[in-house]
Amino acid sequence: MPNAFNFAASPFDCLGPDEQRLVRQHVDVAYFRAGETILAPGSAPTHLFVIIKGLVNQLDGDEVLATCGPDDCFDGRGLVAGKVSHHFVAAEEVVAYQLAHQAVNELIASNAAFGALLFSDLGHKLSTLAQRQGQHELNSLTLARVDQAFVRPAPLVEAGLDVLAVVRLFQAQRTANVLVRDATHTPPRLGIFTTTGLQRAVLDGRPLDRLPVGELASFALVTVRPDDLLGDAMALMLRSRVHRVVVMAGEEVRGILEALDLFSFLGNHSHLITVQIEQAQDLDGLAQAAGQINRMISLLYRGGTRVGLIAKLVQQLNLRLFERAWTMVAPPDLVANSCLFVMGSEGRGEQLLKTDQDNALVLRDGYLPPADLDALCQRFSEVLSRFGYPECPGGVMLSRPAWRGTVAEFSHRVRDWLLWPDPEKLMHLAIFMDAHAACGDPALLAQVQHSLQALSITHEASLSRFAAALDAFGESSGWLSRWFSLGDEGRQLHLKKEGIFPLVHGVRSLALAAQLSETSTVARLSALVARGALSADLAAELNSSLQVFMGLKLKAGLAEWEQQRPITGTLDLASLSVLERDLLKDSLGAVKRFKALLRHRFHLDVLA
């Protein structure tokens, strides 16, 4: 066997020297004419094929499921199962390595990563890929657990102890907080007293040696488990606006995880951004904080952080940024009687790099807004543009009158969007379904959302029209045949059009039919499984596919951002590794199967 075998291509890049030697000893070269069947359904494969030159189509009947090109391998799953499930046909002249079945079995037995990458499902491939990123990932958000960070001891005092004694404990044990046990409460409860509580004690005016610490302790503890991911603990701190969480294993207190300790361990800049946002005295200060977010995303991505967690952190930072900006622009009375909310990928918690603004404002029924409401909203949109969030080309912003109104007005609009078969109105409904409160009274937004849920149950025809937007960008199966073309145009793939939108909108359609209140795609998938509206296997596959799309889109977007080019969401297929191409093909295949299920569920072929 020639030494030209490409061991840099997945899954062979995880093999050691002895395993590579095994491959060389058991591989041969095969030739197939254009149109020739290489593997037929039901046959027992004897080799694993690795393409040197040419294209091979994987067919289910007459439908092309996937196209394999140079360095791609097939059919590993058929080898493990003992029979082939699909046709594999040479689309043109094909030269390929063929590796004997016995050698493949030996490699699978000796190298778990090889086996996982060869024939596992999409979720296992992603897991294996994450574990191969290198030892530095042990310090990343993906793999590090709470108990791997510095968890401080948690002194425990009784609620009746006076504050002065607690201050002495602070000094003696060099701590800034204690846990407080209140045995007089039924059942007994646990709280926390910090230096913030000490400030309130001083302002109380009573002598500190006569003031019980239990009166100033907070009994709304924010807790995590020792085996929780540090990244999830970080997101919880941001969401709860606390600087520490209590680490508990069941009823046992393990200690306190301080924000500074967590962020020191993770070594990224999200904490600094949070502090900048909280301490900003004006819009200039907020603009400086906003300017750091993309850099943080880049650091987290380069460090191996899972893309879903990056999106979660970005959502929390953006929500706090928008909240502070709105309170600086709008008078307190308007803030108290309205709800500023975000929509689209921002609302779902799936936005990474900054994209178009998608926001709106709902007002309390009967409230008389300021006379300069329009100017205030225009000002807010201009502020977000300054922060790096460009205005929405479709005008989905509170600066447009169509995206602000009272609860009653918005409820009427969403009813109109659902019932009238107008493509633009249905897309407005789709955007609104992802709404997430950012500032003000979230109950106002909840009232509009509840009115939509109550309405949707009796309008099956409207649901079908809504789901039909799956094909808003048309069917573009031609990307398969262009995959390995030499022209630049054939190597471009718009991830939103081909993968993200049909997946997200399909899940959104099922959520509307099931009257779900969840707004993120991941949460909707879990809720649909719980309702029996979607199989657990398909939900897991769609979740993994979404992570693939988001990761590849982020990779492409960061490359554009670093080169100071507009972020387009377009993926250059030539830039992908063999494994990334494999993951992308699996993910697009999952979306294709999901669309077929949705067409049946919502009778879309009848509408067509």
The 3-class secondary structure across 45-96, one letter per residue, is CCEEEEEEECCEEEEECCEEEEEECCCCEECHHHHHHCCCCCEEEECCCEEE
Instruction: Indicate if the pLDDT at residue 529 is higher than 50.
Output: yes
* One domain, residues 113 and 236: no
In a domain, residue 282? The reply is no
Taking residue 188's Cβ as centre, other Cβ atoms within 10 Å add up to 10
Give ∠ CA 84-86-90 in degrees, rounded to 5: 105
* One domain, residues 481 and 603: yes
**Greater pLDDT, 552 or 125:** 552
**CATH number (domain holding residue 184):** 3.10.580.10
* One domain, residues 593 and 486: yes
Helices 442-456 and 501-513, axial angle in degrees (round to 10): 80
Please write the tens of the pLDDT for every residue from 191-247.
Answer: 999 988 898 899 888 999 999 999 999 999 999 999 888 878 888 888 888 889 999
Please write the tens of the pLDDT for every residue from 488-507.
Answer: 444 678 888 889 999 999 99
In a domain, residue 597? The reply is yes
Q: If you average pLDDT over residues 514-534, what whole number do you get?
A: 93
In a domain, residue 137? The reply is no
Domain of 426 in residue numbering reads as 307-456
* One domain, residues 246 and 313: no
The last residue of one of the domains, among 400, 429, 456, is 456
Average pLDDT, the chain: 85
Rg of the chain on CA atoms, in Å? 28
Q: How many domains does the chain have?
A: 4
Question: For residues 354 and 388, is the Cβ–Cβ distance under 8 A?
Answer: yes
* One domain, residues 449 and 400: yes
* One domain, residues 45 and 168: no
**Greater pLDDT, 74 or 421:** 74
**CATH number (domain holding residue 89):** 2.60.120.10
Instruction: Indicate if the pLDDT at residue 329 is higher than 70.
Output: yes
* One domain, residues 312 and 444: yes
The rounded distance, in Å, linking the Cα atoms of 99 and 359 is: 55
**What is 368-403 written as a DSSP string?**
---TTHHHHHHHHHHHHHHHT-PPPTT--STTSGGG
Taking residue 233's Cβ as centre, other Cβ atoms within 10 Å add up to 25
* One domain, residues 432 and 329: yes
* One domain, residues 375 and 338: yes
In a domain, residue 271? The reply is no
**CATH number (domain holding residue 452):** 3.30.460
In a domain, residue 298? The reply is no
In a domain, residue 292? The reply is no
The rounded distance, in Å, linking the Cα atoms of 344 and 329 is: 23
Q: If you average pLDDT over residues 43-70, what whole number do you get?
A: 85
* One domain, residues 209 and 321: no
Residues 6+ apart with CB under 8 A from 517: 449, 453
* One domain, residues 316 and 451: yes
The last residue of one of the domains, among 456, 479, 497, is 456
Residues 6+ apart with CB under 8 A from 293: 273, 314, 317, 318, 354, 388
What is the widest separation between alpha-carbon atoms in the chain? Answer: 93
Please write the tens of the pLDDT for every residue from 431-444.
Answer: 999 999 999 999 99
In a domain, residue 413? The reply is yes
DSSP state of 4: T
The last residue of one of the domains, among 417, 436, 456, is 456
In a domain, residue 434? The reply is yes
* One domain, residues 313 and 412: yes
pTM over 0.85: no
